[in-house]
Structure 1
């Protein structure tokens, strides 16, 4: 799986630390297609590093200004002409990082901090299977709290979320609404209200055209799923939902880091979309987030 090497991650961090908070936030939005909400420079930096496909891709981003790269090289003891264009600075930076990676591969770590980073995803791990199992569990759990179904309530609550979990809810029905929630308690309660108070029933499409999952090298698994939404015997519309999952080292359970939920009412849909909702996010879109 592609992604930043240990050396590239360490060196990119040096450049990102020079950026303003607003530029970091903007860069994070670009790298993740605005699917991950970050609340601080630290979160933005970590998100950018985790979801960047390659060092060259990051250096070419508009928010990574020429002056940032120029200053970075100067601090590394590499003098470049003051008139150097950005592409020349990028080329020299990548050459520098290649030499550092070579030293590292020969047992000469270029930076002591590099040893702190590890790859957490097992090479034999299949995120698609996890995605199917997770969706069966999640929607069964959430739907059980709909009074109309008359089911025994399952164990829903903030314990299934990371403390800093985030929810972005975008609904396009008779009017368009965008809601955002932060914190395990608020996220948990807002999702519960969808079934308990608004009486919605979520029916996910767990076939290959409705479910995709990918894993980043750093332990985050993205699960994207499409499906239909019902109330009693009526089909109200369709949904697309992306989950960010990270395994807890304490209890070895997968917990929810973030959720992006898009709901479209029947009025805004064509008949074929209602009968067989499929994902608008393709594998390339998710790879952009997970690489």
Structure 2
């Protein structure tokens, strides 16, 4: 399935934004053949954009009304006749996205890192050999964190910044996400598959308005390589909402290089969040120790074994 490119996704997201909630939810069911459950308007839009075969198929859906496409083109100052039929408007929208694709790439040189094929910036080839010991996993882990957390945080609407290309393309299809959080009570969740893992992490920033502040330079990052070549990245930091520090987090990733693109994608995620009330005897966030990774290198090497 070819899917939508970045420009088409951005344009179709604007179009979907003009649709009624009921139409959005119905369209998500149709596009995913009712195989993916969505619980909000934003999740429905993500599912539609992810599982549509191409932009033309999406625009031709019955729920995507002619008037919506016309209004989109008008907003982009693209002159079309008010009497144009829906198929004519679709062709003009597709042409517009093709025409502007080159300009879009030149104005956003890092977009290729998030285009669904290259998920994490590739490690320098001089450090990349068949012997895992020659791979600087600590440097790779640092680069990964400086890519992952700004991308995830950019989905938080309170920041008001341009959103990066978050989505299931950054995960392997058999990704497993394990999420545990403790406030007054402890809860655990588990999600399997790229789509579900991507949507759950997205909900933390977009719906719950959380911001992740990893302590990369102050003992909050430790990396290792398992005997199977999995790069394990362990990160600790603080969790925030608005101007309030809510607690601390520990997140461990398992990364595997894609043999086709030579880039890294997420295979495993373990996320633990401790809220302020869970810090117990420490009394408050301010008196809590600085977030750090206590695992030994050997423990991380065997973490996903």
Question: TM over 0.5, yes or no?
Answer: yes
TM-score, normalised with respect to structure 2: 0.54
Q: Secondary structure at the match of 1:259?
A: strand
Q: Kindly indicate whether the alpha-carbon contact (under 8 Å) linking 2:226 and 2:302 is maintained by their aligned counterparts in 1.
A: no
**Structure 1, unaligned stretches of length 5 or more?**
1-118
Residues 1:178 and 2:184 are matched in the alignment: no
CA distance in 2, matches of 1:234, 1:272: 11
Aligned to 2:14: none
Q: Secondary structure at the match of 2:302?
A: helix
CA distance in 2, matches of 1:176, 1:164: 26
Deviation at 1:218, TM superposition (A): 2.5
Q: Secondary structure at the match of 1:123?
A: helix
TM-score, normalised with respect to structure 1: 0.56
Deviation at 1:121, TM superposition (A): 4.3
Aligned to 2:67: none
CA distance in 1, matches of 2:157, 2:140: 29
Aligned to 2:148: 138
1:280 to 284, 294, 298: 294
Deviation at 1:132, TM superposition (A): 0.5
Deviation at 1:226, TM superposition (A): 0.3
Aligned to 2:208: 198
CA distance in 1, matches of 2:273, 2:152: 16
- Structure with the bigger RCO (C-alpha within 8 Å, sep 6+) is 1
Q: Kindly indicate whether the alpha-carbon contact (under 8 Å) linking 1:166 and 1:183 is maintained by their aligned counterparts in 2.
A: yes
Aligned to 1:210: 220
| Count of residue correspondences | 173
CA distance in 1, matches of 2:149, 2:289: 19
RMSD: 1.9
Aligned to 2:257: 247
CA distance in 1, matches of 2:168, 2:287: 33
CA distance in 2, matches of 1:290, 1:158: 21
Aligned to 1:161: 171
